[in-house]
Structure 1
């Protein structure tokens, strides 16, 4: 079954306290987004990669690709005013494709690995929808007004990406009108009436959001490179 990936990279540098969008920030000397795309390409070199960027940032990305001699095949399209609209625009690039499994992934999650991708794509091929998630490591409390109450953390999961779906299913789900409930692709497909299967994620699959995440990302990359040298 053919594989596709829509990599959504519409973030800004506000919480990162950076002058540029976080998907362009360098880790190990190269923009985050390039690391992310390389992971998908290493998993399946024949996969069609679609990158969704704010229209105003497309030229910046093209210049970065030229500067870093980044020639990995991918298609770029402009995003919308919301994540829902951006994913919908990404799906338009796949309009001529009939079937397969498509992953929707955050451009600032550069530490996906082959095992995680294999599980997500395989489960989606079988069940239609697979979402990567991890168990909570810390206690949580439900807050209502000025009061809070402890809740059972084993009943909850932290949702990550990639979120993988059969392409016809995701296309039909995104034909729905957008509503505030749609916080991710799983919520769109679930609203359409399809059950979501969870796939065990990884705590290394971090989303780079704050300056501390960049420090952690650099440490992960250094560890990976040292492991390769030792191997």
Structure 2
């Protein structure tokens, strides 16, 4: 896979507390197949381009924990760690501030607890954003859905909806200007921030394995995904 000819950067946001995981550690630090989830995530982007600047945004209270984990696991992927804000919006702002020395290129924003993004998805997202300005990874719905209003539910066409994932890629100057807007409760992700700024969002195909680890059941699935990947990479007898 040919490396991009333009500058690229990645901001990994890992601000969750893991309340739905019912675990003693924040979910980004939980071990999967011998490594904390967050290390798997950073390794995916490092593998795509080892020279790409990686910015990791963590809650200020967890910076020491992450430093200890990096020592414990001898984790040597080069990355810059910055403290997040009270909201995801503020955390991405802090991540962008860490890239202030760069003027141009394409930046990806990715959830720290999505450790199974593929090289092909990363590449397509960067290339599309370079060409069109924006690229948001998404997948089609597999289940039927219903709209609920009060006590009444009504079937709706699932083909009219997409499940949004990360990475979400943007030209760096565009994302920087979009995050100069005032924060709004309507901002659910980076795409909504850029859309409010007046830019069209272009969707690119994701993958169902690119899950966001949120519940204990997700951790079981994560182990299975990694086991299957390692099996496929094993030398054939």
The answer to whether the superposition gives a TM-score over 0.5 is: yes
Q: Does 1:196 align with 2:201?
A: yes
Q: CA deviation at 1:50?
A: 0.2
Alignment-derived partner of residue 81 in structure 1 = 86
Secondary structure of 2:200's partner? coil
Segments of 4+ moved more than 3 angstroms:
none
In 2, Cα distance between equivalents of 1:119 and 1:13: 30
What runs of 5+ residues in structure 2 fail to find an aligned partner?
Answer: 1-5
Q: Deviations over 1:83-127 (max 9, x none)?
A: 000000000000110001100000000001111011100000001
In 1, Cα distance between equivalents of 2:74 and 2:123: 29
Q: CA deviation at 1:214?
A: 0.5
Alignment-derived partner of residue 148 in structure 2 = 143
Aligned match of 1:20 in 25, 41, 49? 25
In 2, Cα distance between equivalents of 1:180 and 1:223: 39
Q: Does 1:168 align with 2:173?
A: yes
Aligned match of 1:38 in 33, 43, 49? 43
> Map of 1:81-160 to 2, 5 A cutoff?
81-160=86-165
Alignment-derived partner of residue 29 in structure 1 = 34
Alignment-derived partner of residue 61 in structure 2 = 56
In 1, Cα distance between equivalents of 2:204 and 2:235: 31
Q: CA deviation at 1:230?
A: 3.6
Q: Deviations over 1:184-223 (max 9, x none)?
A: 0000000000000000110000000000100000001111
What runs of 5+ residues in structure 1 fail to find an aligned partner?
Answer: none
Q: CA deviation at 1:173?
A: 0.1
* Cα root mean square deviation, aligned: 0.6
In 2, Cα distance between equivalents of 1:102 and 1:135: 24
In 2, Cα distance between equivalents of 1:2 and 1:216: 34
Aligned match of 2:232 in 219, 227, 230? 227
Aligned residues: 231
Q: CA deviation at 1:29?
A: 1.2
In 2, Cα distance between equivalents of 1:93 and 1:25: 26
Secondary structure of 1:142's partner? strand
In 1, Cα distance between equivalents of 2:199 and 2:30: 37
In 2, Cα distance between equivalents of 1:113 and 1:92: 27
TM-score (norm 2): 0.97
TM-score (norm 1): 0.99
In 1, Cα distance between equivalents of 2:18 and 2:90: 20
Q: CA deviation at 1:51?
A: 0.2
